[in-house]
Amino acid sequence: MIDFELGDELELVRETARDFAEDHLRPALRDHEAAQSVGDSTLDAFRNIGFETLEWPETLGGSQLGALARCVVSEELAAGDAGAALAIDPLGPALYPLLEFGGIETLRELGAPLLHAPGSRAWLVWNGEGTRNRIERSAAGVTGTIAWVPASRVDLLVFLDEEGGFAVSEGIEHAPLRGSGLRAAGASELTLVKAPVRAEWSDASGAATALARCRLVIAALLVGVMRESAEYSRRYALDRVAFGKPIAHHQALSFLIADMASSVDCARLLVWEAAWRLEAGEDAHEACATAFVEAAEQAMFVTPNGVQILGGHGFMQDYPVEKFMREARALSLMLGGVDAAREAAGRELVSTLGRVALNVEAIG
């Protein structure tokens, strides 16, 4: 029998994250978006729960709960407010290159100081395939422009590409932007002026694993956004009456609502499977890329239809479905977007099939 249960420990983590989102994120959804930040009380509550260091090694005071726990928490937080979910996490996806390249010592040196400086943020910049950043490196440092990051303040920038990465923490200039999606996290254009390189790594294998883990977290955020869009529009359709019955009871909409719910569940299962593969030490690069592609594509199906179910109301800020659509689009463009992830998944799959064919030939 196939068991899709998370287990008692992860269910408790999930429930805690859901309660936090219900108490601190969802009620202030529009306030956070207007302010382009979250309040100190929300940051303190997140820190006190211990979600800041959910995947950190125990030697640094972390919980070391692993990829699946992070995916479960990310989904619940994104269902409350995806922008706020990014804003309250000091390291965000930048955690993974630090862990993969430098391990505990690098995390202690570059990451830990951000935990002790309220409001500090790190951000990961994908500098490989599909990027449009204009970054140049020289002996004097790093110079260039990053058109948009979902943050009003960046204290540590971690750059990642197919061969390795590097980090800078000085020479970062911010130009505020209004932004479209993920406004609660803030929005800035970054300009680097001879920014000194704080650390540098060359490791293609570590880069691939770090990218896979980053894609998995973004995929989990996408699942949370589309889940809330599907649930909100379903509840609206059950309350809205037309031609003598709730619009959810009209066949066309009932089929659409069912398809939206199925899309959410399918994307979630792929995310969980990829997380399980990571924790089991299996080759999960293709699984993580596939989970990202599926989550992004299904989010582009679910969230626009969430708007359509509400009709004209869907485009008004009185209802959050337009926000879900904006945030799904912003998340799906990260890390080179869907096209880069699809190509990565294809390459990994071809490589795997090639190895299987060689093994079969050797056995034969």
Among 152, 51, 133, 88, which residue's Cα sits nearest to residue 334? 133
At 286 the pLDDT is 92
Whole-angstrom distance, CA of residue 360 vs CA of residue 364? 6
The label of the residue with tokens 């809330």 reads 228
Residue 130 lies in a domain: no
What's the pLDDT band for 5 if we cut at 50, 70, 90?
confident
Question: How far is 230 from 305, CA to CA, in rounded Å?
Answer: 8
Look at residue 180 and tell me whether its pLDDT is greater than 90: no
Q: Which domain holds residue 209?
A: 205-354
359 band by pLDDT with thresholds 50, 70 and 90: low
Give per-residue burial for 92-131: e unless 16+ CB within 10 Å, then b. Answer: bbbbbbbbbbbebebbbebbbebbeeeeebbbbbbbbbeb
The whole-angstrom separation of Cα 212 and Cα 336 is: 12
- Cβ-Cβ contacts under 8 Å for 297 (sequence gap 6 or more): 338
Q: What local confidence, expressed as pLDDT, does residue 349 receive?
A: 67
pLDDT at 350 over 80: no
More confidently predicted of 14 and 349: 14
86 has pLDDT over 70? yes
Give the model's pLDDT for residue 363: 64
pLDDT > 90? residue 118: no
CA angle 315/318/321 to nearest 5° reads 50
Of 114-123, 155-164, 165-174, the range with the lowest mean pLDDT is 114-123
User: Rounded to two decimals, what is the model's pTM?
Assistant: 0.93
Write down the pLDDT at residue 1. Answer: 53
* Mean pLDDT value across the chain: 91
Whether 187 is covered by a domain: the verdict is: no
Query: Comparing 18-22, 61-65, 307-311, 323-327, which segment has the lowest mean pLDDT?
Result: 61-65
How does residue 158 score in pLDDT terms, banded at 50, 70 and 90? very high
Specify the residue for token string 């594509």.
Answer: 297
pLDDT at residue 353 in the model: 57
- Determine the distance from the C-alpha atom of residue 227 to the mean position of all C-alpha atoms in its chain, rounded to a whole number: 14
Backbone angles phi, psi at 90, to 5 degrees: -60, -40
Q: Is 259 a member of any domain?
A: yes
Q: Yes or no: say if 52 and 77 are a contact pair by the CB < 8 Å rule.
A: no
Is position 49 within any domain? Answer: no
Instruction: Outline where the chain has alpha helix (H).
Output: 8-20, 29-35, 40-49, 67-87, 95-97, 103-106, 112-115, 204-239, 251-279, 285-310, 321-332, 337-363
Cβ–Cβ < 8 Å for 226, 299: yes
**In 10 A of CB 351, how many CB atoms?**
13
Mean pLDDT of all residues in 175-199: 92
Q: Is residue 309 part of a domain?
A: yes
| pLDDT greater at residue 362 or residue 262 | 262
167 pLDDT band (50/70/90 cuts)? very high
- For tokens 């058109």, the residue is 147
> Residue 236, exposed/middle/buried by CB under 10 A (0-12, 13-18, 19+)?
buried
% of the chain surpassing 90 pLDDT: 76
> How far is the C-alpha of 285 from the C-alpha of 271, rounded, in Å?
12
- pLDDT at 355 > cutoff 90: no
Give the number of other Cβ atoms within 10 Å of residue 262's Cβ: 13
Quick one: pLDDT at residue 16?
Answer: 97
pLDDT value of position 323: 95
**C-alpha distances in Å from residue 222, one per residue of 33, 209, 361:** 18, 20, 41
Number of domains observed in the structure of the chain: 1
pLDDT band at 178 (very low <50, low <70, confident <90, very high): confident
CA distances from 64 to 35, 74, 179, 287, 359 (A): 33, 15, 34, 22, 36
What CATH number is associated with residue 327?
Answer: 1.20.140.10
Residues in the chain: 364
pLDDT of residue 196: 94
Q: What is the mean pLDDT of residues 102-115?
A: 93
For residue 362, the model assigns a pLDDT of: 58
Q: Does residue 269 form part of some domain?
A: yes
The alpha carbon dihedral of 181, 124, 113, 52 has a sign of positive
- Quick one: pLDDT at residue 43? 92
In a domain, 132, yes or no: no
* 302 in a structural domain: yes
Tokens 């996806």 locate to 93
